[in-house]
């Protein structure tokens, strides 16, 4: 049984100023909405946040950005957020942009006990600056390091009380790797079920990676609503 907390506020109680956080989601899909709102309310500052994107101006990680709670952002695409651009150009926010596949693999490696790996992505580009390179089979590769964090915040569609998680459709994205790469992983689930109710073969994230849980109702804002024409 994993500790099930009554509120998101309680779940993030020990996240201190200066902490490093891994946060699941691609765009606004699969983000732990209530845990982010609780961090905004708590007002914890100087955070290093690792997440593919940084929300939009008024939702998701964009809320922490607007509140000046993020000191450094590590991600792959932050183009949806005007405040982000403003803070970077004004020197208020540090940013490290990483190729999306490299980001995913660095987090996977971090959670899987692999300190570094070689990838072709970024060779001959600004991403390669200051990085060790090596030739394999006549082709050049960059060494990239595994990533871990003090806390990982993820969202799943379903979880059982043993911490086993199942994600829905493209809301899976970075969540499984992030769940494995946090010293403390907090899972926000839309629906909590009893142990034994989930098919063991259908579980995406085994409970061993999850330290605490909350149940949270999601708004699931849509960034770009596109429907069939005519």
Partner 1 sequence: MNTREKIARRAEKEIESGFYVNLGIGIPTMVANYISDNKQVVLQSENGLLGIGPFPEESEVDPDLINAGKETVTAISGASYFDSAESFGMIRGGHIDIAILGGMEVSENGDLANWMIPGKMIKGMGGAMDLVHGAKKIIVIMDHVNKAGESKILKECKLPLTGKGVVQRIITDRAVMDVTENGLVLVETAEGFTAEDIQNCTEAKLSVSDSLKLYAY
Which residues bind to partner 1, rule: CB under 8 A? 26-30, 52, 75-80, 84-85, 88-89, 95, 97, 99-105, 107-108, 119-127, 157, 168-177, 204, 220-229
Query: Whole-angstrom distance between the N-terminal and C-terminal Cα of the chain?
Result: 51
- C-beta of 77: minimal distance to partner 1 in Å? 4
CA 3 to chain CA centroid, nearest Å: 21
Spatial contact of 205 and 62, defined as CB atoms under 8 Å apart: no
CA 54 to chain CA centroid, nearest Å: 10
Comparison of 12 and 54: residue with beta carbon closer to partner 1: 54
- C-beta of 229: minimal distance to partner 1 in Å? 8
- C-beta of 219: minimal distance to partner 1 in Å? 9
Spatial contact of 202 and 226, defined as CB atoms under 8 Å apart: no
Per-residue b/e over 87-104, b at no fewer than 16 CB within 10 Å? beeeeebeeeebbbebbb
Comparison of 151 and 174: residue with beta carbon closer to partner 1: 174
Comparison of 53 and 69: residue with beta carbon closer to partner 1: 53
Comparison of 217 and 228: residue with beta carbon closer to partner 1: 228
- C-beta of 193: minimal distance to partner 1 in Å? 18
Q: CA 89 to CA 67: how far, in whole Å?
A: 17
């Amino acid at each position: 049984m994993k500790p099930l907390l009554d509120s998101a506020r309680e779940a993030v109680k020990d996240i201190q100023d200066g902490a490093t956080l891994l946060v699941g989601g691609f765009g606004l899909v699969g983000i732990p909405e209530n845990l982010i709102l609780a961090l905004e309310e708590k007002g914890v500052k100087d955070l290093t946040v690792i997440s593919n994107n940084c929300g939009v101006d008024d939702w998701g990680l964009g809320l922490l950005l607007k509140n000046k709670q993020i000191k450094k952002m590590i991600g792959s695409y932050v183009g949806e957020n005007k405040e982000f651009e403003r803070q970077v150009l004004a020197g208020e926010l540090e940013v490290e942009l990483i190729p999306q596949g490299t980001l995913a693999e660095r987090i996977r490696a971090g959670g899987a006990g692999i300190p570094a790996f070689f990838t072709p992505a970024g060779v001959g580009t600004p991403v390669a600056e200051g990085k060790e390179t090596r030739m394999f089979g006549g082709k050049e590769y960059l060494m990239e390091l595994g990533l871990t964090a003090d806390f990982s915040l993820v969202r799943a569609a379903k979880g059982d009380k043993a911490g086993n998680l199942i994600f829905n459709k493209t809301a899976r994205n970075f969540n499984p790797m992030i769940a494995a790469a946090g010293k403390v992983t907090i899972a926000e689930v839309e629906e909590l079920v009893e142990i034994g109710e989930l098919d063991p073969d259908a579980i995406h994230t085994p409970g061993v990676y999850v330290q605490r849980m909350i149940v949270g109702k999601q708004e699931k804002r849509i960034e770009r609503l596109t429907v069939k024409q005519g």
